[in-house]
Chains A and B, each alone.
Chain A
Amino acid sequence: DVKVTQSSRYLVKRTGEKVFLECVQDMDHENMFWYRQDPGLGLRLIYFSYDVKMKEKGDIPEGYSVSREKKERFSLILESASTNQTSMYLCASSSRGGTAFFGQGTRLTVV
């Protein structure tokens, strides 16, 4: 089975902190994604990566950056956390043209 693991299920951070959300997949997938989930808005794509060191902006990249130094790991970085970034963050991976598999999610609260 494909496994996508997000490093934390719950995180509480202070406004202005630099926050790292980590995601690891074990299926040698080329593509990795970060989504944000908010009630009534569904899932919105923040960034995705189609190869090591390659990235593309999604629909809502402002306030976020990403890093993909190794194929299996994709990190989402909040440079200076703000309260409007309180949300559920979901990581996913897929092979090229394949089905996306999701992690369990990280519920981030910024206070």
Chain B
Amino acid sequence: AQSVTQLDSQVPVFEEAPVELRCNYSSSVSVYLFWYVQYPNQGLQLLLKYLSGSTLVKGINGFEAEFNKSQTSFHLRKPSVHISDTAEYFCAVRRTGGGNKLTFGTGTQLKVEL
């Protein structure tokens, strides 16, 4: 079984400041890693994913994440946030080798303030 821990339930940040949203996972098998974003009253949208290759993954809207296997982490970063980045962010894992189910963390609410 897999589990995902998002250490911060809320992250307030000022506009144009950098932000890091933390994600750690636990799994006895190898996994793929995902970040999804949910804007108010909407469904989830894929931000980025790590399947293999370079451990630094770039996604949409200027976000990037780095896979660290030794620390079992997949933290999400953006060097300069915008008001429009205010949303809830979910980290998720799915086992490799034919797995289809995503296991999600509890989410981090990013609030960008002026």
A binds B: yes
Point out residues on A near B: beta carbons under 8 Å. 4, 31, 33, 35, 40-45, 48, 50, 58, 90, 92, 94, 96-97, 99-105
- Residues of chain A contacted by B106 (CB below 8 angstroms): 40-42
- Residues of chain B contacted by A100 (CB below 8 angstroms): 46, 102
Known: A40-B9, A102-B45, A104-B43. 17 other contacts (CB 8 A): A33-B102, A42-B6, A42-B90, A42-B104, A42-B105, A43-B102, A44-B104, A48-B100, A48-B101, A90-B43, A96-B98, A96-B100, A99-B49, A100-B102, A101-B46, A105-B41, A105-B43
Give Cα A40–Cα B90 distance, bound, in whole angstroms: 11
Asked if B17 is at the interface of the complex by the 8 Å CB criterion, the answer is no
Residues of B contacting A: mostly: loop
Q: Are B100 and A31 in contact (CB under 8 A)?
A: yes
Residue of B nearest to A4 (CB): B43
Q: Are A45 and B101 in contact (CB under 8 A)?
A: yes
Least distance between A31 CB and chain B CB atoms (Å): 5
Give Cα A40–Cα B103 distance, bound, in whole angstroms: 15
Least distance between A43 CB and chain B CB atoms (Å): 4
- Residues of chain A contacted by B56 (CB below 8 angstroms): none
The residue that A42 contacts in the complex, of B42, B45, B107, with Cβ under 8 A, is B107
The residue that B100 contacts in the complex, of A43, A94, A103, with Cβ under 8 A, is A94
Q: Mark B43-68, 1 if CB is under 8 A from A, else 0.
A: 11110010000000000000000000
- Residues of chain A contacted by B41 (CB below 8 angstroms): 105
Give Cα A102–Cα B42 distance, bound, in whole angstroms: 9
- Residues of chain B contacted by A58 (CB below 8 angstroms): 101
Q: Are B46 and A99 in contact (CB under 8 A)?
A: yes
Q: Are B43 and A43 in contact (CB under 8 A)?
A: no
Least distance between B36 CB and chain A CB atoms (Å): 8
Q: Are B44 and A102 in contact (CB under 8 A)?
A: yes
CB-CB nearest 3 A-B residue pairs: A102-B43, A42-B106, A102-B44
